[in-house]
């Protein structure tokens, strides 16, 4: 598994990454690899998270060459991470307060990746418990389990670690909600880390923006760069309904008269419209229909 990419070098871990524990931080079970010329010729990129085949390992020098990249299960462009299994969305209960429509936009973008979704409501120390409970209940109605958390009084952090166990997670959310603080908390040695990788690599780290995967003490992997902090919605209008768990739940055991029903005022629409985010659905459907350019999607 590729855990870091810098210029033409790839750090590759040889054991099962989701079994990693914190004691492995200094592990030598890792090689600094180049990419075989053939892969370059084929235009095959190598991303953090990729499962790869390594040839000609030089165990004493800690070097090797990547000769093949296995099929990716998922792929994110921002940050460039292959095979992530989970998006953990962070929104803060205060400073800044949650904007429900913005939260819906993030949730839709996360739903589109088809990864598992977790939600963390940060800065819980800044609001009364009733406000935390209210938001968790609302999210539950929307179809998501939310964890109220705080780095100030360490609330909810055990639950967050549980949520990250066994997953390759990318954090996402608007700026200022505490994503970087959470990453630094979860990866204790992030700034102190030393390892196999050369000094030159670490110098590069501060000049070139790149993503690295870190193993969490309780198991699981976390990307050190947050993802899509400003989601756009390149969604086909006909696909929007599928991204709302509230609609999915209802259409699991019944269907509308028309196949292409948009759940507005159509005759034979079976959707009950008495749920909180129905207004978000209508507003966003209007927005993406206005922006939708069928010529970009033909063929």
Confirm or reject binding of residue 180 to ligand GDP (CB under 6 A).
Answer: yes
Tell how strand 30-35 and strand 9-13 pair up: antiparallel
Beta carbon nearer to ligand GDP, 91 or 244: 91
Beta carbon nearer to ligand GDP, 56 or 154: 154
CB of 274 to ligand GDP, least distance (A): 34
Beta carbon nearer to ligand GDP, 21 or 176: 176
Query: Nearest 5 degrees, angle CA 158-CA 190-CA 228?
Result: 75
Q: Tell me how far apart the 2 most distant CA atoms of the chain are, in Å.
A: 72
Burial 100-138 (b: 16+ CB within 10 A, else e): beebbbbbbbbbbbebebbbbbbbbbebeeebbeebbeb
Position among 65, 89, 177, 216 found at the interface with ligand GDP (CB under 6 A): 177
CB of 150 to ligand GDP, least distance (A): 4
Confirm or reject binding of residue 211 to ligand GDP (CB under 6 A).
Answer: no
Position among 112, 116, 181, 250 found at the interface with ligand GDP (CB under 6 A): 181
- Cα distance between residue 182 and residue 187, in whole Å: 9
Confirm or reject binding of residue 66 to ligand GDP (CB under 6 A).
Answer: no
Beta carbon nearer to ligand GDP, 35 or 123: 123
CB of 183 to ligand GDP, least distance (A): 8
Confirm or reject binding of residue 178 to ligand GDP (CB under 6 A).
Answer: yes
Confirm or reject binding of residue 159 to ligand GDP (CB under 6 A).
Answer: no
DSSP tag of 32: E
Sign of CA dihedral 109, 117, 270, 283: negative
Nearest to 90 by CA among 144, 171, 180, 150: 171
Within 80-139, the residues that bind ligand GDP by CB under 6 A are 122-123, 125-126
Enclosing H/E stretch for 3 = strand 2-6
Binding site for ligand GDP (CB under 6 A): 122-123, 125-126, 150-152, 175-181
């Amino acid at each position: 598994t590729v855990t870091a990419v810098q210029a033409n070098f790839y750090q590759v871990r040889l054991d099962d990454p989701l079994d990693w524990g914190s004691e492995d931080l200094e592990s030598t079970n890792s090689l600094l690899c180049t990419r075989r010329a053939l892969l370059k010729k084929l235009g095959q990129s190598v991303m953090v998270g990729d499962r790869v085949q390594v040839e000609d390992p030089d165990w004493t020098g800690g070097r090797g060459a990547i000769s093949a990249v296995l099929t990716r299960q998922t792929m994110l462009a921002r940050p460039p991470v292959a095979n992530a299994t989970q998006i953990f969305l962070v929104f803060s209960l205060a400073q800044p307060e949650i904007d429900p429509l913005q939260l819906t936009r993030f949730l839709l973008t996360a739903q589109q990746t088809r990864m598992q979704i977790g939600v963390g409501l940060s800065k819980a120390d800044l609001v009364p418990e009733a406000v935390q409970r209210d938001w968790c209940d609302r999210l539950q109605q929307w179809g998501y389990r939310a964890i109220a958390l705080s780095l100030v009084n360490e609330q909810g952090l055990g639950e967050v670690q549980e949520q990250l166990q066994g997953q390759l997670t990318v954090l996402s959310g608007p700026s200022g909600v505490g994503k970087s603080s959470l990453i630094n908390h979860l990866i204790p040695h992030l700034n102190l880390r030393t390892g196999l990788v050369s000094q030159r690599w670490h110098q590069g780290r501060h000049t070139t923006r790149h993503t690295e995967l870190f193993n969490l003490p309780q198991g699981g992997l976390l990307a050190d760069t947050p993802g899509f902090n400003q989601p756009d919605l390149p969604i086909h209008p006909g696909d929007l309904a599928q991204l709302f768990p509230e609609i999915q739940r209802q259409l699991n055991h019944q269907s509308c008269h028309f196949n292409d029903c948009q759940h507005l005022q159509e005759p034979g629409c079976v959707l009950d419209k008495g749920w909180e985010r129905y207004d978000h659905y209508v507003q966003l459907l209007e927005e993406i229909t206005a922006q939708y350019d069928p010529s970009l999607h033909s063929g």
